[in-house]
């Protein structure tokens, strides 16, 4: 079976779904292909810190009603070092800016509901997706869906299917320049029915390793512990996890609760340049990965989508390809600034195991916490650089 659309989108994560919804608002048609089923997509536990620019895009897409009701506004974070916790006031340091905690899972649910409510074409369990003729004027997608082979003719293909997706993998290696760093540690993350220890996020540098104390709601905690990349989750009982979290927080006041989810997340910095290859446009994790310390992954996907929507809108309204020609360069400038910030935060807050390097990172953090200029730099980057 054959169908036709203006933009074929691979991947129903936040990048693909937000792109589809914003294109719909602009009157541009799209078809979204997702290899997983709806329950899996809506159940993935991921990031939860939204910059104001991302929130503005969700409002533009018409999917921010629940975010406005349930999102937790945060005017700052705290950083703990040597057993002392120092609050960092974003509003004072950035002229009134802040961030909002609202889980990526909830963003995804809102976008899926809006897509289906508007009658948009969203195809779950679309397997064997292949890209064709991306260097021509009429690229195509083929897949298996509902037991049939489907072909979709497009003007453009948006690869929003993540680091392990088919979009970037379809390119010949010589077309892609890869910049990558793997870190010698990972995060053991939990989601628990337990109150968070503070109304703001707490970042801890501790001799036993980094810890982050976060939340998804006033009664649901999302916490992380630095661990080995090959950590065996079976060795981490609930009691051991809560004991280690209390040790690194430096407080017995942390309240425990039943674990809803437990996982290990590797730490990686990755950029694949360029983000445009003929009529294939990469966005989000398809083109770049940041370590989660700086809370930039979801927000970078949203900024890619912003640049991409503006470029496609200009193409369809004015027959002007200048935005598409500049898309990769424009998006990558913001990507690399976020990479720098995420690497910086990761370096300062984690234990690498090299005595000299760890002392340098500790000294850096001590300097930052004592300098208004350095704290301003941290705050400006954390709340999000302008588009």
Q: Is 307 a catalytic residue?
A: no
Q: Is 382 a catalytic residue?
A: yes
Q: Please tell me the distance from the alpha carbon of residue 115 to that of residue 119, in angstroms, as a whole number.
A: 6
Q: Is 183 a catalytic residue?
A: no
Are 384 and 54 in contact by the 8 Å Cβ rule? The answer is yes
Catalytic one of 203, 224, 307, 327: 203
Q: Is 223 a catalytic residue?
A: no
Are 78 and 201 in contact by the 8 Å Cβ rule? The answer is yes
Alpha helix stretches (DSSP H) within 180-321: 238-249, 297-318
Are 141 and 149 in contact by the 8 Å Cβ rule? The answer is no
Report how far apart, in Å, the C-alpha atoms of 312 and of each of 29, 81, 139, 305 are: 11, 47, 16, 10
Catalytic one of 74, 109, 350, 361: 74
Q: Please tell me the distance from the alpha carbon of residue 102 to that of residue 55, in angstroms, as a whole number.
A: 10
Catalytic one of 102, 224, 327, 382: 382
Q: Is 145 a catalytic residue?
A: no
Catalytic one of 24, 206, 277, 296: 296
Phi, psi of 225 (to 5 degrees): -130, 135
Phi, psi of 241 (to 5 degrees): -60, -50
Nearest to 343 by CA among 181, 122, 211, 194: 181
Catalytic one of 292, 306, 327, 350: 292
Catalogue the active-site residues. Answer: 74, 203, 292, 296, 382
């Amino acid at each position: 079976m054959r169908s036709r659309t203006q933009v074929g989108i691979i991947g129903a994560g936040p990048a693909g779904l937000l792109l589809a919804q914003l294109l719909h608002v602009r009157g541009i048609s799209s078809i979204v292909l997702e290899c997983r089923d709806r329950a899996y997509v809506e159940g993935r536990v991921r990031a939860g810190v939204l910059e104001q620019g991302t929130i503005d895009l969700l409002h533009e897409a018409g999917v921010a009603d629940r975010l406005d009701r349930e999102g937790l506004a945060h005017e700052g974070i705290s950083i703990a070092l040597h057993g002392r916790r120092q609050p960092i006031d974003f509003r004072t340091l950035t002229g009134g800016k802040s961030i909002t905690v609202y889980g990526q899972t909830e963003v995804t649910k809102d976008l899926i509901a809006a897509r289906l409510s508007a009658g948009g074409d969203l195809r779950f369990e679309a397997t064997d997706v292949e890209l064709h003729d991306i260097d021509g004027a009429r690229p195509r997608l083929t897949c298996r869906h509902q037991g049939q082979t489907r072909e979709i003719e497009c003007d453009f293909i948006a690869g929003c299917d993540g680091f392990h997706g088919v979009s970037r993998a379809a390119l010949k290696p010589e077309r892609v320049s890869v910049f990558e760093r793997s870190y010698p540690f990972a995060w053991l993350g939990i989601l628990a029915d337990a109150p968070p220890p503070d109304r703001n996020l707490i970042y801890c540098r501790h001799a036993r390793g980094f810890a982050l104390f976060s939340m998804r709601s006033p009664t649901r905690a999302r916490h992380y512990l630095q661990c080995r990349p090959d950590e065996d989750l079976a060795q981490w009982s609930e009691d051991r996890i809560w004991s280690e979290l209390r040790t690194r927080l430096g407080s017995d006041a942390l309240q425990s609760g039943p674990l809803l989810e437990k996982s290990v997340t590797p730490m990686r910095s990755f950029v694949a340049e360029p983000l445009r290859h003929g009529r294939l446009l990469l966005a989000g994790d398809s083109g770049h990965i940041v370590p989660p310390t700086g809370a930039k992954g979801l927000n970078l996907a949203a900024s890619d989508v912003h640049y991409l929507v503006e470029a496609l809108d200009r193409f369809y309204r004015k027959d002007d390809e200048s935005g598409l020609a500049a898309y990769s360069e424009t998006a990558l400038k913001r990507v690399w600034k976020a990479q720098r910030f995420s690497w910086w935060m990761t370096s300062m807050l984690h234990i690498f195991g090299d005595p000299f390097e760890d002392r340098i990172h500790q000294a850096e953090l001590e300097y930052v916490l004592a300098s208004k200029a350095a704290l301003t730099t941290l705050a400006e980057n954390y709340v999000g650089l302008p588009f």
